[in-house]
Amino acid sequence: MKYTPLKRKTKVVFVQLGSPEAPTPKALRKYLREFLGDPRLIDWNPLVWKIILNCFVLPLRPRKSAKLYERIWDGESFPLITNTVQFTEQVEHELKTIDTEGYVEVNHAFLLSPPYVNEVYDSWEEDLRNGVGATKLMVIPMFPQYSESTVASGIDSLGKELSKRVKIPNFEVITNFHRTHAFVDNSVRIVDEKLQQLKEEGINPDMLLLTFHGMQKRRVLEKGDDYYRHCYETYRLIVDRLQHIAPEQTMMTFQSKFGSEEWITPYTEDVVEELIAEGKKEIVVYSPSFVADCLETTDELGHELVEDAKEWGGNVYAVDCLNVDQQWCKDFATYTFTQAEGSAQQKEDLEYQLTAADYEAMPELSSDGKSISVSKEVLHHSFDK
């Protein structure tokens, strides 16, 4: 066998959740079986949940979900798929201007849609056979804030794939990027642009809601998930830099509640209804849990919440996700290259740093007599998470 020395190269994989194959009950049943069957997502007693999933959820929910997905179907694909593909292509294009030696290549993969993680791994092994394979694998789950149900789920998928392979490269997983200049600065810019656009149209926004995907309080209070803290850090970093609305006209809320457990509050829908009842009728919403539009942003916020607000006598204006915004893609290309090739100091400079004082206004999370707050001691040991 003839061997060819490999050039130093990092294969970066942007990992997203994925979407159903089509907006049909059959496709949704397949999608939900795999999605809701993930023990990281639904961390109940596995036997109990298996009965609930197969006897109650899968027979009923796919038809309802199919109607929702049909509203965001363009005839060929869903926004999450299209935006992720185009985002990867744009980042690859931007990388060529800063990575002239070709040390970094980017790919995308989905947990529940093709190309799957195993397909990207297959392509790496094929490259090895051709003498052009990467010497390092870096995985970036495209969820800004860490949570067990998203990022850890993706790491599980990678681990399962590695367990089947003989060749395993050096690899690294980036578990969050919500404090990065790339994410924060571009989120601030697109929100400010929306606020300015509305003002130019004669609409003066009363409130801005940064609405995050929900999570059971139990996961934070009992399991110590960092998600709630990461959400607050995201909220703080964004609202403190906005130019077209005051921090006191903003709120952190949570959406997409599922099941009967107590979830992190306040719920976005309830807040919107209450604000409108108080006379604050012009409300802007932005969801920093997502970098690509999906069912939760395009339909839940951009359609259902908009219609509900009208019924309550107000208006909701949804800000699109970063998607394939040119500056965002350019900045994330720099972020990706620095993570792969940069020094320790350069990597540290990618992120905003917070102090204990930044957390003083963080709402305390409590449930059934239990509570979580952020102490100075905890913060000093948490900045690297």
Reading the block at residue 237, the tokens are 């970093």
Is residue 172 classed as helix, strand or coil in its secondary structure?
Answer: strand
Q: Is the pLDDT of residue 44 over 60?
A: yes
DSSP 356: G
Q: Is the pLDDT of residue 54 over 70?
A: yes
Q: Is the pLDDT of residue 377 over 50?
A: no
Q: Is the pLDDT of residue 68 over 80?
A: yes
Mean pLDDT of 122-146: 93
Torsion of CA 70, 75, 80, 82, to 10 degrees: -170
Q: Is the pLDDT of residue 383 over 50?
A: no
Nearest to 117 by CA among 154, 88, 89, 83: 154
DSSP 305: I
What is the predicted pLDDT for the residue at 380? 33
| Contact yes or no for 283/316 (Cβ under 8 A) | yes
Does the domain formed by 10-18+77-173 have CATH 3.40.50.1400? Answer: yes
| Contact yes or no for 262/216 (Cβ under 8 A) | yes
pLDDT band at 133 (very low <50, low <70, confident <90, very high): confident
**Arithmetic mean of pLDDT over the chain:** 92
Those residues with Cβ within 8 angstroms of residue 369's Cβ, 6 or more apart along the chain or in another chain: none
| Beta-carbon count within 10 A of 52 CB | 16
What is the predicted pLDDT for the residue at 2? 59
Give 282-295 pLDDT, tens digit per residue: 999 999 999 999 99
Q: Is the pLDDT of residue 333 over 90?
A: yes
Q: What is the CATH number of domain 181-318?
A: 3.40.50.1400
